A and B are shown apart, each in its own frame.
Chain A
Amino acid sequence: MALKMLLPASPASCLLLLVALAGAEAASDSNESANSTAQDAVSARFAASSREPAERISVFELDYDYVQVPYEVTLWILLASLAKIGFHLYRRLPRLMPESCLLILVGALVGSVIFGTDHKSPPVMDSSIYFLYLLPPIVLESGYFMPTRPFFENLGSILWWAGLGALINAFGIGLSLYLVCQVQAFGLGDLHLLQNLLFGSLISAVDPVAVLAVFEEARVNEQLYMMIFGEALLNDGISVVLYNILIAFTKMHKFEDIEPVDILAGCARFIVVGCGGVFFGIIFGFISAFITRFTQNISAIEPLIVFMFSYLSYLAAETLYLSGILAITACAVTMKKYVEENVSQTSYTTIKYFMKMLSSVSETLIFIFMGVSTIGKNHEWNWAFICFTLVFCQIWRAISVFALFYVSNQFRTFPFSLKDQCIIFYSGVRGAGSFSLAFLLPLSLFPRKKLFVTATLVVIYFTVFIQGITIGPLVRYLDVRKTNKKESINEELHIRLMDHLKAGMEDVCGQWSHYQVRDKFKKFDHKYLRKILIRKNLPKSSIVSLYKKLEMKQAIEMAETGILSSTAFSVLQQAQRTQATKRLSPEDVESMRDILTQNLYQVRQRTLSYNKYNLKPQSSEKQAKEILIRRQNTLRESLRKGRSLPWGTQVGAKNIRYLSFPYSKPQSGRRNAGAAEASDDDSSGLGLPFITFSARPQLGSLRESRLAQEVIPMKSLPQATMTVPFRDGRDPGPGRRTVARPRPLFFTLEEEFESRAESDEEASALRVRWTAERGHSREHGQSHSPLLRRK
């Protein structure tokens, strides 16, 4: 299916590839060996003038060796990107199979092309390149996009599951395979225990996040999501640590005589490596957060700082033989919170996208290399080993899932159901990690390396394709959806209403977790960390100019589309009311149903859905903006009508359908969303341009004033839109609201303007955010209400 889409794309790229290969053949013919390195080519080119005395100057030359490596790598990446485009053009395809499938197919295609033309592929992957360049971006990306709140809430379960699960899997598979190897009939007698254990450790590196996209819409609960994430995050690190330790064991001279001391040393080393890596990561995270505090004047280097410090944490940890993966993960998790608040909006977007890009490039290259290895001559097939590997992988994963979760369920407030555990079991899809580790086994220590590589490839193909494709239906089956497809419109509407209601009530209830630890950390965070790590003066002008820009643009658009006149609608409405209700044909009902399904607002998802290969925030933001605009208008209308909240019939409010905001990412919204965390919600990622929340408890007597003023920007904004840009102040039109009119809701209005005298230069950063908004609304207040010219 994916290949069908590849066909239009691939002629072009195939053409390119063929040209490249033809050039390669031509170039390689003229050199002694087909494997001319780039070095020779470079020196040959530059030394050409002295070597070739009396040649004619040729008008057109072909020099392929010079560019071979980067050229082919770029072609591979482009091919994979084209395939991804094709993959996503088919809407249903991403639901059917994970994107890893696609990448593997592309890799196999490239591999077959290379194999078919007998071309020597560039040496993209060797140990140092993989560990130094290809692996860090992947790990950084998964650490950065980890939603932190649920992660820390479930930290115990995640550590228990990921850590012990990896260990159980590794040792279980290794030991079982060793027992199988003892059977003489299979011809595997020369594989001793350490090699089997090593194989076990590398084959237990799972990549479950790849399948998340497949059952994304099946509304798996947040805890399950978090377990899968957490496992993906920590699993790589633990596998690599284990791998390195076992390699170190293998390199010992007398590894047949391993004593218990060595084993103990190994365990101790495991713990030291793991914790040391995390420690390094946290330190680097704090340092980089601290530095971003000072970069407001050169925001262009902010992404650079983020990336370089993360990378540095990886390298520093690796220098000391600590776990670089865990270091970079911890660095990303630590620095994310502070960096997001410090950096400018564009830097923030750049960081996100660049991270995704880097990690997808890395992964693509690894998969392509995997495809190249698949279609090659260096395989060793041994039925027993491979089949038993597959079987043991599944068995041991099942054992570890059910045993570990049985234990951890005793301690959890919300235990994982059997259904959840089945999903976790089935999501044990292997990925690029295990292939890389297998590929990089040193041949000197592992004479039967090809066997391992083959077995790893088989496991990967099996899990990615078969498990990846069937996990979607499995999850949907387990979800036990209502089989009654044909719901009446009534039911559909009511169901959606109830979903919204339930989501709203859940938000009112807030998040419940282990209060004490989290509260303590939050207090510590506010008191010390934020003071050090967050910028002092968040620029006020950006928020102000943002409002100005948005409101003007909106006003212009509305005026142009003629929505401003509200009287037209009420007449229309009266006329239609008198229509008798007629019987509707089934097609009408169908079309109604379609309208509803497409246009009903989605219920807010609590965990932001994570897609490994894509960043897709748009639809929920658009929806959020529409809802906010509408609320704004109803409130404004209600004020106009002299009521505090829309009760009873509203003639005017419902008619106004404003266009959604022009899609400009409001910076203030992001910051305000960050400020909303005191209400225990993780609403980062929503652009909320004008509703500000959550006064901090330290604000003391001014709390009330700030509370009232939060609502003001919402109300007073629309008044500006109708006429002129608000800077002009004089607002004679219908938009003039006496903000000071006492309402039961806003009874503290008067006081809050009196408290303007407070200075803007507050020490704590969080107050500064308030200052910014206060400054803004001050301008509103002053421009709109002469009553309140206190200053």
Chain B
Amino acid sequence: MGARASHAAAVPGAERIRRETGFSQACLLRLHHRFQALDRNNKGYLSRVDLQQIGALAVNPLGDRIIDSFFPDGNHQLDFPGFVRVLAHFRPVDEEDPGVRDPKQPEPLNSRMNKLRFAFQLYDLDRDGKISRNEMLQVLRLMVGVQVTEEQLESIADRTVQEADEDGDGAVSFLEFTKSLEKMNIEQKMSIRILK
């Protein structure tokens, strides 16, 4: 496992990935190491099972959803660019002058909006762009201990949707979601230090 060549040439498409995600060379290398470490059969891609073997994810209440977020659009294979693309959402935001960004270029993956979008999709399983009350309830159920009764959960879910819902459609759209979290320091909450 550790015997594979570990320099930049081994990472396929490194330049393109770097441009897309903004990771540094060293970081990309480490991510490649990790990808290879997770890929137990040297398949060249990761399957869900590989990710499920990360012990800590099994006891994460959102473990399944996190794993699924790596496999968008119903894929079952995760290649390295896809892996990095997801993790790029968690790159700490550069503290450079944000106004300098070229508006024609696509938003960097670790911008606040994209981070929020990533979190939004954890709720919105059917990808209709809205978090219905039911979806909110499901997430709540995942995150709360067994002592809470069903009625309590329902009322909490109701309240959550109610607080955020502005146009009264009983669901939380992405904009409403963003608005309800405008005071939060998303850039810090959804950044992993080692992904600099």
Contact = CB atoms under 8 A, between A and B. Distances in A.
Interface of A: 414, 482, 484, 488-491, 493-510, 512, 515, 519-520, 522-523, 569, 572-573, 576, 581, 584, 588-589, 592, 595-596, 599-601, 604, 623-624, 626-628, 630-631, 634, 645-650, 654-655, 657-660, 673, 676, 678-681, 683, 686, 688, 691, 693-695, 697, 703-704, 707-708, 710-711, 744-745
A630 B64 CA distance: 11
Nearest to B145: A599
B181 A604 contact: no
A623 B61 CA distance: 9
Chain B's interface size range is 35 or more
B106 interface: no
22 contacts: A494-B180, A498-B190, A505-B66, A509-B87, A509-B195, A510-B38, A519-B1, A523-B2, A572-B150, A581-B162, A584-B158, A601-B144, A604-B60, A623-B145, A659-B146, A679-B37, A686-B59, A691-B58, A697-B40, A707-B40, A707-B49, A707-B53
Contacts of A414: 193-194
A491 B181 contact: yes
Interface string B152-179: 1011101111111000001000000000
Given A496-B143, A497-B123, A509-B34, 19 more contacts: A499-B189, A501-B190, A504-B56, A504-B66, A509-B87, A519-B2, A581-B170, A595-B152, A626-B146, A647-B126, A648-B126, A658-B146, A679-B38, A679-B53, A680-B37, A688-B59, A693-B54, A693-B58, A710-B53
A431 B135 CA distance: 53
B105 interface: no
B66 A501 contact: yes
B52 interface: yes
Q: Which of B1, B33, B53, B140 has the most CB of A within 10 A?
A: B53
Given A491-B183, A688-B59, A711-B49, A505 B144 contact: no
Contacts of B49: 707-708, 710-711, 745
A686 to B, nearest CB: 7
A604 B59 contact: yes
A660 B143 CA distance: 15
Nearest to B126: A648
Contacts of B143: 493, 496-497, 500, 600-601
Contact residues of A: prevailing secondary structure:
helix
B114 interface: no
Interface in B116-164: 119, 122-123, 125-126, 134, 137-148, 150-152, 154-156, 158-164
A631 B58 contact: yes
Interface of B: 1-2, 6, 30-31, 33-34, 37-38, 40-41, 48-49, 51-64, 66, 68, 70, 76, 87, 90, 119, 122-123, 125-126, 134, 137-148, 150-152, 154-156, 158-164, 170, 180-181, 183-186, 189-195
Contacts of A658: 146
B176 to A, nearest CB: 10
Contacts of A505: 66, 87, 90, 192
Contacts of A496: 143
Contact of A589 (B140, B159, B186, B192): B159
Contacts of B147: 599
A584 B159 contact: yes
Contact of A744 (B76, B90, B170): B76
Contacts of B54: 507-508, 510, 679, 681, 693
Contact of A515 (B2, B52, B53, B152): B2
Contacts of B125: 647-648
Nearest to B181: A494
Contacts of B38: 510, 679
Contacts of B68: 645
Contacts of B170: 581
Contacts of B59: 604, 623-624, 627-628, 686, 688
A650 B54 CA distance: 25
A495 B156 CA distance: 15
B156 A595 contact: yes
B55 A693 contact: yes
A599 B2 contact: no
B31 A509 contact: yes
B57 A654 contact: no
A113 to B, nearest CB: 46
Contacts of B180: 488, 490-491, 494
A646 B145 CA distance: 20
A691 B56 CA distance: 11
A693 B52 CA distance: 8
B119 A512 contact: no
B152 A506 contact: no
Contacts of A648: 125-126
* In the complex, the 5 A-B pairs of residues with the closest C-beta atoms, listed nearest first: A519-B2, A507-B56, A676-B55, A624-B59, A504-B66
A507 B180 CA distance: 28
